[in-house]
Amino acid sequence: MKKLLTIAAASALALSGSALLNAQAKPPSRSSAAKTASSASADQTFVRKAAAGGMAEVELGKLATDKATNPQVKAFGQKMADDHGKANDELKTLAKNKNITLPSSLDARDQALKDRLSKLSGDAFDKAYMQAMLKDHRADISEFNRESKSGKDPDVKSWAAKTLPTLESHLKLAQDDTKAVGTSGMKKSKTPKGR
């Protein structure tokens, strides 16, 4: 009987060891590993884009405080520089904790916008700047909304959700200020010649 128990125990030990080795040797499925990498990559891409956009908002806001002639546009520019500067600082800390490298200069599109706006003055600057702010904040709200709902990294998702109301208030303010500089904020439709 003792010999039978020893054989049974040895068999059970061998089976459990074999199962453990199989479990350890089996890598995670490609699809689950790819999904994890993809969602991490999506969150990192969002962080980098948000940092680039925030940097542009600060730069353009400073430009508006210098060049705008309408006091509401100047105040809006200052608010953009202040609010996005604060959000950028929070994002830098988050990125550092996540080992995400952020851009250190404006991307080509934002640099081109800054260059174009720098050449304008007076009413033309005010209108062009406010139009750019409307377009930019609409796009930002869409991206931040998506990240706050479907982001996989809880810290990034939380930051996006926390920042979203500020962006929404910026859009409302941009809509009001755009009316103050005499433009509707809507693209003009082209009418065919001869009408």
Per-residue model confidence as pLDDT tens digits over 84-99: 999 999 999 999 999 9
pLDDT value for 29: 47
Question: How many degrees, rounded to 5, is the angle at CA 20 between CA 17 and CA 26?
Answer: 140
Would you tell me which CATH number, out of the four given (1.10.10.10, 2.30.30.90, 1.10.3720.10, 1.20.1260.10), belongs to the domain 42-180? Answer: 1.20.1260.10
Quote the pLDDT of residue 79: 97
Residue 38 has a pLDDT of 55
pTM: 0.74
Higher pLDDT, 22 or 137: 137
Q: Over the range 134-171, which residues count as b (16 or more CB within 10 Å of their CB) and which as e?
A: bebbeebeebbeebbeebebeebbebbeebbeebeebb
Within a 13 Å sphere around the CA of 137, how many CA atoms are in the beta-carbon half? 25
Distances (CA, A) of 96 to 49, 106, 149: 15, 19, 23
| pLDDT at residue 14 is higher than 50 | no
Q: Tokens 């210098």 — which residue?
A: 66
Range with the lowest mean pLDDT among 3-12, 60-69, 155-164? Answer: 3-12
Cα–Cα dist 18/139, whole Å: 54
Give pLDDT, residue 182: 72
Residue 104 and residue 83: Cα distance in Å, rounded? 19
**Residue 104: pLDDT band with limits 50, 70, 90:** very high
pLDDT of residue 13: 42
User: What is the rounded CA–CA span in Å between residue 7 and residue 46?
Assistant: 59
Q: What is the pLDDT of residue 24?
A: 45
**127, 70 contact by CB (below 8 A):** no
Q: What is the DSSP letter of 178?
A: H
Vertex 175 angle, CA 173 and 178, to 5°: 105
- Residues 109-117 have a mean pLDDT of 97
What is the per-residue pLDDT for 184?
52
**CB 39: neighbour CB atoms within 10 A?**
14
List of residues 6+ apart from 131 with CB closer than 8 A? 178, 183, 185
pLDDT at residue 139 tops 90: yes
Contact between residue 100 and residue 42 where contact means Cβ atoms under 8 Å apart: no
Q: Compute the average pLDDT of residues 4-22.
A: 44
